[in-house]
Each structure stands twice: as C-alpha cells, then as structure tokens.
Chain A
C-alpha cells in the first residue's frame, strides 16, 4: 500500500519554484512543535490508561501536517479551522502545553472551551483558531465564511481549513469548495488522509483513491503530498497560501498520513487494522525523518536534539502537574455563556 502512495506523492509533490525553503530557525522551531506534540500525545494516552482525564484523541503520525502548514501561514494573523489531530499546529500558533492539558482535564483554565468540550476541540479568538465542533467537518464552511468575511473587510488574511478523509466525503466539503472557488475565497482546503474513518477504510469511503483529484471538479489546483514529510507539507501549504493571499482563490492539498494509535481513547484499532500495517507506517514516522534530515543539513546537532528532548519532556511534566492540580470550573458556571446576556 505504501509503495502505491509513494508513487502518487512522487508524481504530484513538486514544490512551486517561488516558495523559499524555511530558514534554519524555522526548521528548528517546526521540529520542536512536532516533538512537543508527540510527547503531549503520548502522555495523554498514558493518563487515560491511568484513569485520568476524560478523552484522548491521538495525533501521532499527523504531526508534520500541522507543523508544515503552521510554518506556511502568518500565525496569529491568518485563521485556521484545524483538524482535531493538529496539535502541532496549535502549539505552533500559540496554545501552550498547559492550555492543552487544561483542555484535557476540562479545567476552569481551559482556554479553548472552559471545561465544556472534550479534549481536542480547539479554539482561540485571540490566536485566530476557530472554535471546533464535534460533527465532522462542520468547520469547513465556517472557514470559508471567515475567509469571505476577511476579504470583505479588506484584510489579506488566509484561512487554512484542515479535515480528515472521512469529513471529505460529506456534502459540507462539496458545498464549501464549490462556493469558495466561485468567489475565489482566500482559503486553503487540506484533507489529512490517514486512510481510515475510524474503522472504515478509504476504499469504502471513496471510489477515487486520491482525494486531491476532486479539486479539478471545482476548478482549483489539487496536490497530494506525503503528509509525514514536513517540508513536503510546507511547500504545498506555502504555495496554496500565497495563491489565496494574492486573490487567486482556494486550493486543495491532500496530506497522506497515518495515525499510529486508535481513533480515540474509546476506539480499539486492533479490530480493523493489522499490527503489521501499523508497524510498516511506523517506519515512516515524521519525527525521526525530520530529525535525520535536520541533522544531515546541519540545522540541528545531537546536542541540540538531546537538549530539546529534555526541555520538551520537562514542559510536558510541568503541564501535567499544573493541570492536574488546577481548579475545576464552578458547577454553576455551566449556566454561563448560552447568550451574551441572561435573557431566558
């Protein structure tokens, strides 16, 4: 299966000439976002197994997508309607490990939902991260609306919209892509294709194996890239963002990825995926690949890597210890925020 994917990626993942490679500083930052995302992800999985927290949404395997597009956008200025596995992008844009763990434990300090939504329902008005919902992928039309609004307001911001291969099958995405293309809305559609909608394989979700092919039907460019390759994602995202920012309209990126753990903490992936398949995809893990590439380029030394590893582990320890001890919301705070004012 992976050989097939490789062919597809080789055929389509060509970087536009005008996209400059990231600086060494940017590459180091991206590697850190991915590493921090992975450490947090693993820790939350452990916590759930210890009976702590309420819900985990593993994102291991998806890190290069979030880090890659976060590198391509103007973080905090451009808007993102993220996929719920984009922890790396959230950390890049400005959510802290403490924010993430407060969300995980549904504490009062959870900046995304104030204890109202389960883990991974991101959101920050300040950081231009749209508040996320449960039903996938309802945020896709929201992203188009935000982008259309930004255009009306005379901004040059772009809205980056990410969703899964499951979401891509819904009418929501068709309507959103159609409208966005008609009006050259400044947005990017990014389908993170991890080959499964929870348990249902891509072959039962879509008659075409390359989601990017659908772009043609909307009159927009579509590329399929190795979503476990930071630079491949960055190049495709940067090209799409530039295009959108300059009024040329939306693009579709398909990022081919694999999720290493179950769909959520309530899922058991052994019922639908072979261990051999999972192990094969482990060999393509985006983090060791990125590390090797940056070592080879001389962007990182082994000392840098060791230091980063220790620093990230400490940040996760701090976030967990803090979030475990921070306060729950007051029960009656459940009555707040249905309306701007108390009108009922």
Chain B
C-alpha cells in the first residue's frame, strides 16, 4: 500500500472519482489554476478541463447554492469552501436547503452534494482561519458530517461521500494535511459513513475524538501507557450519523469517558457525546464524563502563546485522563461498581441523622422457633467448617432477601432525586461483650447463610470502633442477649432505612390448645420519611418476619 499524506489522499480520491464518474465536478475559489490553496485539487484542471473544474468568484453563498442546483440536476458536485471560517455565508444553502430538500419534497428531490472545507487551528491563523464548525452543522438532520483523521479514511470517506445520495459536509483538519502520513489502500477502499473505529484498544478509559485531536489523544494514550494506564481511543470519523454502538460498547468495558475536541466547549459536539453517555451508559460509568476542549473564547488568537493556551494538546489530554482515572462516582445503581467514601462530613453521622433525616419507626414481633431449631440442628456442622452460626446471620439473610424484593428500601435520598442502589451492602453493628463491632458486608444478597455467618464472624474478630464505617446501603444492628427489648435505630446519611434487632426473650404463647415457651424478638425499622412511608416499612418487616418464621428452614437453606 502506498504511503501518502492526508492532502494527497484527498487529491487521489477526487482524481479517481472524476475519472470514473463523469457526473463529478469540483467548484470553489482558487481550485483551478492554483490547485486550491492547500493543493487538494492540483492537476484536476489539466485533466478534466474548466467545465468540470470551476474557479468560482469569491462568493461562498453561490458556491453552495449552485452546488445544490447541480446536485438536484443529477450531477455530483464537490464544492470547496476554502476555509471553514468562511462557510457561514453559505450556511443557508447547506442547512436550509441541501439538508432539507429530500424532506421538504417528500422524497421527490434529493441533493447529493459534497462540501469540502479546511478547518481547525494550530497554524497561527487567528480567529478567521482556525475555526471548528462541526457543532453548527451536526445540528442539521438531513446532512451528513464527516471528519477523517488519517489518509486512508480521508480517501475512503471522500469516495463514500461523493457516492452518497445525501448531502455531506467533509471537514478536513488543515494540520493533518501534511503532518499525518499513512498507508492508503489501492483499489476501492471506500470507508462506510457512520462507523467509528477503535484507533487504539485499551481498558481504563474510552477517549473519543476526531480530526487532529485524534492524533493528540493517541499521543496522550502513549504517554499514559508508561504510567500503567490503558487508554482506548475511538476515532469517530463520522459525526453525523454517529456510531453510538461503538462508543457504548467501549464504555461498557472501560466505565470512563473522555471526549476531546478542538472546538469550544459549550454546545460543542462533545455535549452530544456526553448526553449519549448520560442517556445510555450512566449505569456503567465509574466517574463523571470528562471533556477536553478549547475554552469558550470567541476566536482562536494568532499569538503563539495564546493559541497554544487555548487549543487542547497531548499534555492537557494526559492531565485530564490522569484525573479521570483517579475519580470515582459516589452512587450508581450497579452491583458491580464499588462505591467510595462520601466526602468528609462536617458532622458525625448520628448528628446528621438527627438533623437531616425525618424519621419514622415501625415494629413487628417475630417468632424465632424455626430459626433456633435450625441453629441447634446445624450448629455442629457449621462449626466443623469453622463458622459460628448465630441468629444475626439469619436476620441478615432475611434482610438481604427483603432488600432485593423491595429495592426501594435499598436507596437514599439525594436532594432532587432518590438513588436506588444496585448492590445490597449492609452496615452491621454487633455486640461483642461490652464493645460494639462494626463493618460493611458488601453484596450481602449474593451470600448464602454460611457466607453471611462468616462475615459476622470476621466483623466480630475485628477491632472495636467508636465511629461508623462510611458507606453501605442499609444498616442493621443486633446487640445480642444484653440488648433492650426493643429500640429505634437512627437512619444514617446515605441510607433510607435501618433495622434494629431487639433482645430474644422467651414468652408463654398458646399453641395447639396448650401453652408453650416461644423465643421471640422485636424488629424495629426506621425509615427516611422523604423516601419511604409506613406502608412500605410494614411490607418490608413482614417480608423478614415471613422468612424467619418459615417452617421448613431446611428446604430453603
């Protein structure tokens, strides 16, 4: 495969397509005798003559308008707007005409034109020779917008654009023209419109970019490789239509999203990519979306220090990526995401509970006969495996089951919304003699009775603490035989409910026409009243009660 620059690849595509399709003609300023200010059309006038290689007046509006007419007539015009900064004079014909002709005529007419234009900064060109215009034109359904970054894609996509039945804006980053070299396949080599490509595979972050910034992103990824950070870089190539599937698939693997473009930030193309992640990939994101863009300045300045300050580059991208890898979101509804500690609260959680959370308590009484019978029957077997089977493990199991069955309880109040957790992480408080031991059992819903008993044992084996560990999705306190008959637990910040197990006491109860001693316990559930109400609290408690009183414990466990 021959090596060529981006500008050579574009010239090759034009030369080939004009040779093979007599409908193709090019028009624009300085494209004939001069061969274009960037030489994209060099040699075309000599080969194809002035009727098909039209040096137009310096009049962008009519370059676009006449190209629209040519396309409607059945030709395949490729118009050049010398600098993207000048395209706005033609915007009415691109946005208002070309993009709408098929639609407004109900499919009766079409407008298969291509408008090529050189965009982007880094050339000390100043505000009127450096603009990126993709955000304006990707907001125009009916238009297709392409932004290749490599020679092979420049040729392959330009061929696809000329052959496409709809209007295409072909954005060529002028820094890539001579800087970027690469192999270009001979023969057809058409690159389909609407497909992104993974320019570099990686596992930690998905970077999406296009044009010159794609190369800066690749350089940043290489810098980070030596730091042990693996960056996946997606070359969008086609901005409209957008290859959403490739981005989402990558995000599902990396969970971190960095968007890089040279255009300014607010309402830039990256905003659409961020919206895609917010709509379709929030559950896999481990950190907030990150954008590396030019700041919202009104133009790219010509002064080298100012231009370099404004434009993104590999160092700025690498810095952003390092920060992104270090970040973790606090709460997301996905079981496979580890939540991290909340920012240091200014008050202890009990005070915050009292000050911030309106609470209400509900109580049920549970018959533990079945639990204790099972415990007696299997104590030795569990002990043989090194596990102490206690009532707490049964209550934990019943609670985890109830949190799965009623996931609204496994949640937290978050201002304007309610966070619903995807994993059941129980903050357990247990008594060990005169001290309290505390720990979080992550993924309690995935553990069986033995696993839960082991978790209780390991918390008991740990050190006593006077503070609460941060996190968890629900709190359970079981203070053993020394506990009060019943007590109301505080709902902790970040949780929607807390359960307190009272002391197990034997009471005389009627059963089958006689009186028997029955081990009984009070369970008290406190709820955050902004999230839950007494009805759901009752259902939740009864779910636990039913589980614990179920007569055939053996079958279930």
Contact = CB atoms under 8 A, between A and B. Distances in A.
Interface of A: 79, 110-117, 121, 123-125, 130-131, 133-135, 138, 140-153, 171-172, 175-176, 178-179, 182-183, 336-341, 343-344
Given A123-B108, A141-B66, A339-B142, A171 B61 contact: yes
Nearest to A128: B73
Given A149-B74, A179-B56, 4 more contacts: A121-B104, A131-B108, A149-B73, A175-B57
15 contacts: A112-B105, A112-B108, A114-B106, A121-B104, A125-B108, A131-B101, A140-B65, A142-B72, A145-B66, A148-B69, A172-B65, A176-B65, A183-B54, A340-B166, A344-B141
B65 A175 contact: yes
Contact of B105 (A79, A113, A171): A113
Contact of A146 (B69, B101, B193): B69
Interface residues of B, number: 45
A138 B93 CA distance: 7
Given A171-B61, A179-B57, A123 B25 contact: no
Contacts of A171: 61
A317 B363 CA distance: 79
B69 A145 contact: yes
A113 B66 CA distance: 22
B539 to A, nearest CB: 42
Contact of B107 (A138, A150, A152, A336): A336
A340 B110 contact: yes
B157 interface: no
A144 B69 contact: yes
A133 B70 contact: no
Interface string B88-116: 00001100110011111111111000000
A138 B70 CA distance: 14
Interface of A is mostly: loop
Interface in B422-437: none
Interface centre among B93, B104, B141, B194 (most CB of A within 10 A): B104
B62 interface: yes
B62 A141 contact: yes
Given A179-B56, A179-B62, A340-B166, A113 B104 contact: yes
B65 to A, nearest CB: 3
A342 to B, nearest CB: 10
B412 interface: no
Q: Which of B96, B105, B241 has the most CB of A within 10 A?
A: B105
B68 interface: yes
B70 A131 contact: no
Contacts of B144: 339, 343
Contact of A135 (B66, B68, B92, B110): B92
A123 B100 CA distance: 13
B71 to A, nearest CB: 8
Contacts of B93: 138, 141
A133 B104 contact: yes
A116 B104 contact: yes
B175 interface: no
Contact of A145 (B51, B67, B107, B142): B67
Given A144-B62, A175-B65, A182 B57 contact: yes
Contacts of A179: 56-57, 59, 62, 66
B52 interface: yes
A343 B194 contact: yes
A172 B66 CA distance: 10
Contacts of A145: 65-73, 77
B534 interface: no
B75 interface: yes
Nearest to A161: B69
B165 interface: yes
Nearest to A132: B104
Contacts of A135: 92, 96
A114 B69 contact: no
A138 B108 contact: no
Nearest to A182: B57
Nearest to B108: A125
Given A112-B105, A175-B57, A338-B141, A138 B97 contact: yes
A176 B64 CA distance: 11
A183 B65 CA distance: 16
A337 B107 contact: yes
A172 B104 contact: no
A153 B75 contact: yes
A336 B105 CA distance: 11
A110 B105 CA distance: 10
B66 A337 contact: no
Contacts of B108: 111-112, 114, 123-125, 131
A116 B106 CA distance: 7
A172 B107 contact: no
Contacts of B92: 135, 138
Contacts of B110: 340
Given A133-B104, A340-B165, A143 B69 contact: yes
A337 B56 CA distance: 32
A148 B59 contact: no
A123 B72 CA distance: 12
Nearest to A180: B66
B504 to A, nearest CB: 63
Interface core residue of A147, A152, A183, A340 (most chain B CB under 10 Å): A152
Contacts of A152: 25, 51-52, 75
Interface centre among A142, A178, A336 (most CB of B within 10 A): A142
Contact of B70 (A110, A123, A148, A178): A148
B105 A339 contact: no
Given A141-B66, A179-B57, A179-B59, A337 B106 contact: yes
Q: Specify which of B65, B102, B109, B165 lies most central, judged by the most chain A CB atoms within 10 Å of its CB.
A: B65
B248 to A, nearest CB: 15
B103 A338 contact: yes
Nearest to B194: A343
A184 to B, nearest CB: 11
A141 B61 contact: yes
A111 B105 CA distance: 8
Pick from B25, B67, B72 the residue with the most CB of A within 10 Å: B72
Top 7 closest A-B pairs, CB basis?
A145-B69, A114-B106, A141-B65, A149-B73, A175-B62, A142-B69, A340-B165
Contacts of B62: 141, 144, 172, 175-176, 178-179
